[in-house]
Amino acid sequence: MCGIVGYVGDGNAKDIIIDGLKKLEYRGYDSAGIALNQKNNLVVRKKIGRIANLEEMIQGEDLTSHIGIGHTRWATHGAPSDVNSHPHLSQDGRIAVVHNGIIENFVELKKWLTEEKGITFKSETDTEVIAQLIGVYYEHDLVDAVYKAVEKMEGAYAIGVIAAEEPDKIVAVRRDAPLIVGLGNNCNFIASDIPALLKYARTIYLIENNETVVITKNEAKIYDMDRNEVKRDVFHVTWDADAAEKEGYDHFMLKEIHEQPKGVYETLTRRLEKGGSIKLDGISLTKEDLDKINKIYIVACGTAYHAGLVGKYAIEKFARIPVEVDVASEFRYRDPFVDDHTLFIAVSQSGETQDTLAALREAKNKGARILSVVNVVGSSVARESHDVFYTWAGPEIAVASTKAYTTQLICMYLIALYMATQKGTITKEYYDHIMDELKQLPDKLEELLKSEKQIEEIAKKQYRQTSVFYIGRGSDVGISYEGSLKLKEISYINSFAIAAGELKHGTIALMEQGTLVIALATQDKLYDKMLSNIQEVKARGAYVIGLAKKSNTAIEEQADDVIYIPDCADEVTPVLAVVPLQLFAYYIAKLRGCDIDKPKNLAKSVTVE
Ligand code: AGP
């Protein structure tokens, strides 16, 4: 969601901030803006729409400054508009604020500011309340005013603040929304995420909740709620600057689809000992801990939730522990049965998803052991978990998740196999067999990506569809959900996924001449059943694209088009089966002229409930 960038140093703040904001576009936004300090005056420029609109607006203006803050806004309070865009100014124009998150008590604060302090608000946003509050408390000391304002603010937020009178510093605060500090040469930064800084700073501080940061050109200091200075170890970013560039691909999504062999390889091989046993860095679950556990919840949102569905198959099959998979936004409100015999597995690419965080906290309060599978190092979900298992996908920029998903699946297999070996529920032969299958996946993914052209051709025949159905059985059900989500989020086609055996209980009523059905038949033991389901929809006029293993060619008799994945064990097909569905969604969206990396209404990191 919203992105924040702040810069103070010798360079041209405007250019550096706008460049950083562009690297945060993936978070999703509907307007952008900057505030610069020019000779002790705050100059604010903001515009609805893409960053390019803002650039066009300020083209030719002299906006030279060495300090400023910038923002990409994803509207929550107040529609996307120029006036609701950030930064927001205090009434006297001496304080500028950018904000990511929600101020829950903004109505009450707004009332107080209006009635008691005579403030007239310009926008409909909760953020303007912060600017006005700091403005009211400001007495030539920005840090003090921010501390006083924060005491009154309830909610989840990261803010960046500058004052006209103090052109040397940016003050920032983190509470339940991401914030990092980048340490550069004669310059320092604040930002919502690492990609914004990659070009300028590789040494960063990960800011903790309820911390305040003060950066000047030469210093970056962190303080706790009681204004005591906090010492923090630096974190060195190892990604190269290209990690956040498209490197010749038309879109980040396509680049990230192609990065899956590497991501899967990294996530897997970093965890394997020479003898083939699993070394779970970041997880301290012993056999005794596992013996105590009688129930596992996997809780996540969207694509990460779909990874959880495959995780359930793997853990129940290998480790024989019952697993429930839950959508995070539902979990916390249904008084789930959780105690100290529960293992709660949170899955999240960003590690900042508010629904997932809230569910995690609910489970933790009830005594559960918390294990998280996260891509972003040092994110909130990672920090609040007892054990963290990182996916090694690298930065995922496209809003539609691809490589994070396949690496999450690998983590699920590794966790399941580790539990199984600890609990003695798997034979050595079966373990070696699955491990061998997993190790072959990077090469098989490379092989599979060679079908890209064929998938593009199939997409050319189908991109005008208005609805698409995905069907499958066993672990293909979860992959159907994921394929369907991918299609709807980037192409805006109404798609629907359902267990193939469930079709006849209602949904088959929707089949008619030309209805597009994507039938996943990758499971050997369910293959014949799937062929029957394909016949059922064909009989009602459906056009079927089948997905099967290379050796299972009987599907050609039933389906209109067939996409093959390399042969592999049923247990690991999800990692392969999802890739053609990602490519199909990609090419459909491309042919429809959609904004693939930044789909409308969506945000990469969903930091509101
Ligand atoms: C995936 O393509 C989506 N954009 C979305 O469903 C995403 O997976 C979900 O919001 C969860 O995000 P997280 O993994 O960062 O927690």
Which three-class secondary structure string do you get for 481-532? Answer: HHHHHHHHHHHCCEEEEEEHHHHHHCHHHHCCCCCEEEEEECCHHHHHHHHH
Which atom in ligand 1 lies closest to the alpha carbon of residue 605? 15
The pLDDT of residue 72 = 93
Kindly indicate the confidence band of residue 26, based on its pLDDT and cuts at 50, 70 and 90.
confident
The pLDDT of residue 242 = 66
The pLDDT of residue 237 = 84
Q: What are phi and psi of 506, to 5 degrees?
A: 160, -55
Asked whether residue 282 carries a pLDDT value surpassing 80, the answer given is: no
Which active-site residues does the annotation give? 2, 604
Nearest by Cα to 479 from 526, 442, 540, 512? 526
How confident is the model over 432-455, as a mean pLDDT? Answer: 96
Nearest CA to ligand 1 atom 4: 400
CB 555, CB 571: distance < 8 Å:
no
The pLDDT of residue 276 = 76
List residues near ligand 1 (CB under 6 A): 301-304, 348-350, 353, 356, 399-401, 489, 602, 605-606
Kindly indicate the confidence band of residue 535, based on its pLDDT and cuts at 50, 70 and 90.
very high
Nearest CA to ligand 1 atom 7: 302
- CA of 104 from ligand 1 middle (Å) equals 24
- CA of 300 from ligand 1 middle (Å) equals 9
Handedness of CA 109, 110, 115, 116 (dihedral sign): positive
Looking at this protein, which amino acid is placed at residue 253?
M
Kindly state the percentage of the chain with pLDDT values over 90: 80
Which atom in ligand 1 lies closest to the alpha carbon of residue 401? 2
Nearest by Cα to 177 from 150, 137, 200, 198? 150
Kindly indicate the confidence band of residue 42, based on its pLDDT and cuts at 50, 70 and 90.
very high
Kindly indicate the confidence band of residue 283, based on its pLDDT and cuts at 50, 70 and 90.
confident
Phi-psi region of 351 (alpha: psi -120 to 50; beta: other; left: phi over 0): left
| Residue to mutate (ligand 1; options 345, 347, 360, 606; most atoms within 8 A of CB) | 606
Kindly indicate the confidence band of residue 77, based on its pLDDT and cuts at 50, 70 and 90.
confident
The CATH number that domain 452-591 falls under is 3.40.50.10490
Kindly state the percentage of the chain with pLDDT values over 70: 99
**How far apart are alpha carbons 320 and 425 in whole angstroms?**
7
| Residue to mutate (ligand 1; options 353, 372, 402; most atoms within 8 A of CB) | 353
pLDDT tens-digit profile of 456-471? 999 999 999 999 999 9
Structural domain boundaries in the chain: 3-238, 244-449, 452-591
Which atom in ligand 1 lies closest to the alpha carbon of residue 400? 2
Nearest CA to ligand 1 atom 2: 400
- CA of 485 from ligand 1 middle (Å) equals 10
CB 484, CB 490: distance < 8 Å:
no
Asked whether residue 305 carries a pLDDT value surpassing 90, the answer given is: yes
Q: Which of 6-15, 189-198, 240-249, 432-441 has the lowest mean pLDDT?
A: 240-249
> CA gyration radius for the chain?
25
Nearest CA to ligand 1 atom 16: 348
The pLDDT of residue 379 = 84
Question: Largest alpha-carbon pair distance within the chain?
Answer: 79
- CA of 606 from ligand 1 middle (Å) equals 8
**How far apart are alpha carbons 347 and 460 in whole angstroms?**
34
| Residue to mutate (ligand 1; options 1, 253, 301; most atoms within 8 A of CB) | 301
Which atom in ligand 1 lies closest to the alpha carbon of residue 381? 16
- CA of 498 from ligand 1 middle (Å) equals 20
As a three-state string, the secondary structure of 387-424 is EEEECCCCCCCCCCCCHHHHHHHHHHHHHHHHHHHHHC
Nearest CA to ligand 1 atom 9: 302
- CA of 297 from ligand 1 middle (Å) equals 18
- CA of 36 from ligand 1 middle (Å) equals 33
**How far apart are alpha carbons 257 and 249 in whole angstroms?**
11
**How far apart are alpha carbons 157 and 30 in whole angstroms?**
18
pLDDT tens-digit profile of 250-277? 999 999 999 999 999 999 988 888 777 8
pLDDT tens-digit profile of 450-459? 999 999 999 9
Asked whether residue 536 carries a pLDDT value surpassing 80, the answer given is: yes
Find where tokens 């203006």 sit.
61
Q: Do domains 244-449 and 452-591 have the same CATH topology?
A: yes
The pLDDT of residue 164 = 97
- Distances from the Cα of 215 to the Cα of 9, 39, 170, 191, 194, angstroms: 10, 19, 5, 12, 17
**DSSP label at residue 208:** P
Which atom in ligand 1 lies closest to the alpha carbon of residue 486? 2
Which atom in ligand 1 lies closest to the alpha carbon of residue 300? 16
pLDDT tens-digit profile of 378-403? 788 998 999 999 998 988 989 999 99
Nearest CA to ligand 1 atom 5: 302
- CA of 479 from ligand 1 middle (Å) equals 15
Asked whether residue 418 carries a pLDDT value surpassing 90, the answer given is: yes
How confident is the model over 133-152, as a mean pLDDT? Answer: 97
What 229-236 contacts at long range (C-beta under 8 Å, 24+ apart), as own/partner pairs, is 232/205, 232/206, 234/183, 234/203, 234/204, 234/205, 235/203, 235/204, 235/205, 235/206, 235/377, 235/378, 236/202, 236/203, 236/204
Which atom in ligand 1 lies closest to the alpha carbon of residue 402? 2
CB 604, CB 28: distance < 8 Å:
yes
Which CATH number is 244-449's, of 3.30.2350.10, 3.40.50.10490, 3.30.70.1400, 3.40.390.10?
3.40.50.10490
- Distances from the Cα of 247 to the Cα of 109, 237, 497, 596, angstroms: 47, 19, 33, 16
Kindly indicate the confidence band of residue 606, based on its pLDDT and cuts at 50, 70 and 90.
confident
With residue 212 as reference, give the H or E element that holds it.
strand 211-215
CB 80, CB 31: distance < 8 Å:
yes
pLDDT tens-digit profile of 342-379? 999 999 999 989 999 999 999 999 999 999 999 988 78
The pLDDT of residue 241 = 64
Asked whether residue 279 carries a pLDDT value surpassing 90, the answer given is: no
Fold of 3-238: Glutamine Phosphoribosylpyrophosphate, subunit 1, domain 1 (3.60.20)
**DSSP label at residue 87:** P
- CA of 468 from ligand 1 middle (Å) equals 21
| Residue to mutate (ligand 1; options 74, 349, 581; most atoms within 8 A of CB) | 349
**How far apart are alpha carbons 72 and 515 in whole angstroms?**
40
